[in-house]
Amino acid sequence: MKYYDLHTGSGNLKEILRLARELGWSGLGIIIPYDRDFSRNLETLRKEIKTLKPKLDIALGAEISGEKPGKIRRTAKDLRKKLELIVVSGGDLEANRRALETPETDILSHPYLDRNDPGLDHVMAKLAEKNRVAIEFSFNEILYAYKKRRSQILQNLLGAAKLVKKYKAPFTISSGARGPWDLRSPSELTALGRVLGLPNPEIKHSLSEGILQENRKRLGKKWVMPGVEVEP
Amino acid sequence: MKLKPLPSMKERKRYIVFRVLSDKPEYSLEFQAVRDAILNSVLNWLGEETSARAGVWVIKNLWDRKKQKGFIRCSRKETDLVKTALAMVHQIGDSRVIIQSLRVTGTIKKGK
């Protein structure tokens, strides 16, 4: 089976690609922040990937964060035409909800950031299921937290997992790596999913290229709208 | 005299084969440092009660210093928790590390 880590950073890219291959990943989603220098950073990253000629399947994406909740939809729509992955950084309840209401969003990252609750409720979980927006369970957050903070994050993850399981919302488990040494192998992320009580077949699906396949179709010339494609 | 439990009361165990990837591959890590890091992480992640149930044991004579590969024995029920605890180790001494679990087996022979 091919495993994909859909949320990693771009710091020290050469080492990230080498380690990811060694750990057994088939593909990576490299996400860069959507800020003022986004276009320039994207171009630089594309050039860097071209020169490195990785043996992994690379998907590029943007992380929308710090935007006013009202602007998330417009930004996601603009980016949809250019990129394979669109991630919205959660935390604020309004932002979480807007991200889940937007079908153009692929992943809602850490909806529980800086909160004492999962940042989701049953209404949002239903929205995630309806609009096929995946809730991200990121390993990186528990990796660098200790004691009370780690237990709080785990509690939030368990709460989110419960909702995801009940309402059959899509989810993804990622390493959320900022550097090469934050990467973890597919086997460890699967174990984390099981610890959170997520269903086994869905865990495997969440680590596959499911999200990317649909988005790559969208970027192709044949795609018109969901469910409609032009035959050549 | 060694105490021997009844066969029906024997604990069901699994062996996790792991390897350590380090940012300083020129210095191979000692068994003791790896064992301490793993046991600390297990204790932090599982807590005292569950780590007692998990019965984690890092096997000394199966540590391959050259390949940085080793075996952990644990209870069958707690395998996923122990694997997650292994993933929580990110530093041993002053080296950044990743502990990767390669496979889970029922016998040592199959893991080799």
Average model confidence (pLDDT) across chain B: 92
Please state the three-class secondary structure of chain B as a single string: CCCCCCHHHCCCEEEEEEEEEECCCCCCCCHHHHHHHHHHHHHHHHHHHHHHHHCCEECHHHCECCCCEEEEEEEHHHHHHHHHHHHCCCEECCEEEEEEEEEEECCHHHHC
Per-residue pLDDT at A13 exceeds 80: yes
**Strand bridging mode A85-89 / A107-109:** parallel
| Residue A92, helix vs strand vs coil | coil
Q: Is residue A67 within 8 Å of A75, Cβ to Cβ?
A: yes
Per-residue pLDDT at A197 exceeds 90: yes
Q: Report DSSP state, residue A80.
A: H
CB atoms within 10 A of CB A94: 11
Per-residue pLDDT at A232 exceeds 80: no
Residue numbers in B near A185 (CB within 8 A): 87, 98, 100-101
Which amino acid makes up residue A162? K
Q: Would you call B87 and A22 a contact, using CB atoms and an 8 Å cutoff?
A: no
Q: How confident is the model at residue A17 (pLDDT cuts 50, 70, 90)?
A: very high
CB atoms within 10 A of CB A131: 16
pLDDT tens profile B4-37: 889 888 888 999 999 999 988 878 889 999 999 9
A30 strand-pairing partners: A8, A60
Residue numbers in A near B40 (CB within 8 A): none
Over residues A195-208, the mean pLDDT reads 92
Min Cα distance A195 → chain B (Å) is 6
Q: Would you call A184 and B98 a contact, using CB atoms and an 8 Å cutoff?
A: yes
Distances (CA, A) of B71 to B28, B54, B111: 17, 15, 8
Q: Rounded to the nearest 10 degrees, what angle do helices A93-101 and A122-131 cross at?
A: 30
Q: Would you call B90 and A182 a contact, using CB atoms and an 8 Å cutoff?
A: yes
Residues 82-111 of B with CB under 8 A from A: 83-84, 86-88, 90, 96-98, 100-101
d(Cα A196, Cα A162) in Å, to the nearest integer? Answer: 8
Q: Would you call A181 and B87 a contact, using CB atoms and an 8 Å cutoff?
A: no
Of A43, A37, A33, residue with least CA distance to A7: A33
Min Cα distance B36 → chain A (Å) is 17
Q: Can you give the pLDDT at residue A221?
A: 77
Task: Find the closest chain A residue to B81 by CA distance.
Answer: A195
d(Cα A28, Cα A50) in Å, to the nearest integer? Answer: 15
d(Cα A47, Cα B3) in Å, to the nearest integer? Answer: 65
Residues 1-60 of A with CB under 8 A from B: 19, 22-23
Q: Can you give the pLDDT at residue A54?
A: 86
CB atoms within 10 A of CB A205: 15
Instruction: Quote the pTM value.
Output: 0.91
Residue A139 contacts B where some CB pair is shorter than 8 Å: yes
Q: Would you call B98 and A146 a contact, using CB atoms and an 8 Å cutoff?
A: no
Q: Can you give the pLDDT at residue A10?
A: 84
- Torsion angle of the four alpha carbons A15, A16, A18, A19, in this order, in degrees rounded to the nearest 10: 110
Q: Can you give the pLDDT at residue A214?
A: 82
Minimal Cβ distance to B84: which of A144, A147, A191: A191
Q: Would you call B21 and A22 a contact, using CB atoms and an 8 Å cutoff?
A: yes
pLDDT tens profile A138-165: 999 899 998 899 999 999 999 999 999 9
For testing the chain B interface, which of A151, A178, A181, A195 should be mutated: the one with the most B CBs within 10 Å?
Answer: A181
Q: How confident is the model at residue A82 (pLDDT cuts 50, 70, 90)?
A: confident
Q: Is residue A23 within 8 Å of A52, Cβ to Cβ?
A: no
d(Cα A190, Cα B105) in Å, to the nearest integer? Answer: 17
Can you name the CATH fold of B11-106?
Alpha-Beta Plaits (3.30.70)
d(Cα A47, Cα A223) in Å, to the nearest integer? Answer: 27
Q: Would you call A181 and B90 a contact, using CB atoms and an 8 Å cutoff?
A: yes
pLDDT tens profile A23-63: 999 999 999 998 888 889 899 999 999 998 888 899 999 99
Cβ neighbours of residue B13 closer than 8 Å, sequence gap 6 or more: B55, B73, B74, B75, B76, B106
Average model confidence (pLDDT) across chain A: 90
Min Cα distance A185 → chain B (Å) is 7
Per-residue pLDDT at A184 exceeds 80: yes
Q: Can you give the pLDDT at residue B11?
A: 85
A91 in the Ramachandran plot: left (φ > 0), alpha (ψ -120 to 50) or beta? left
Q: Can you give the pLDDT at residue A216?
A: 84
Q: How confident is the model at residue A116 (pLDDT cuts 50, 70, 90)?
A: confident
Residue B44 contacts A where some CB pair is shorter than 8 Å: yes
- Torsion angle of the four alpha carbons A187, A189, A192, A194, in this order, in degrees rounded to the nearest 10: -60
Q: To the nearest whole percent, how much of chain A has pLDDT over 70?
A: 100
Of A124, A64, A138, residue with least CA distance to A94: A124
Q: Would you call A182 and B100 a contact, using CB atoms and an 8 Å cutoff?
A: no
Over residues A195-209, the mean pLDDT reads 91
% helix, strand, coil for chain A, step of 5: 50, 20, 35
Q: Can you give the pLDDT at residue A220?
A: 78
Per-residue pLDDT at A226 exceeds 80: no
Give domain A4-229's CATH number out of 3.90.226.10, 3.20.20.140, 3.40.50.150, 3.10.20.90: 3.20.20.140
Over residues A207-224, the mean pLDDT reads 82
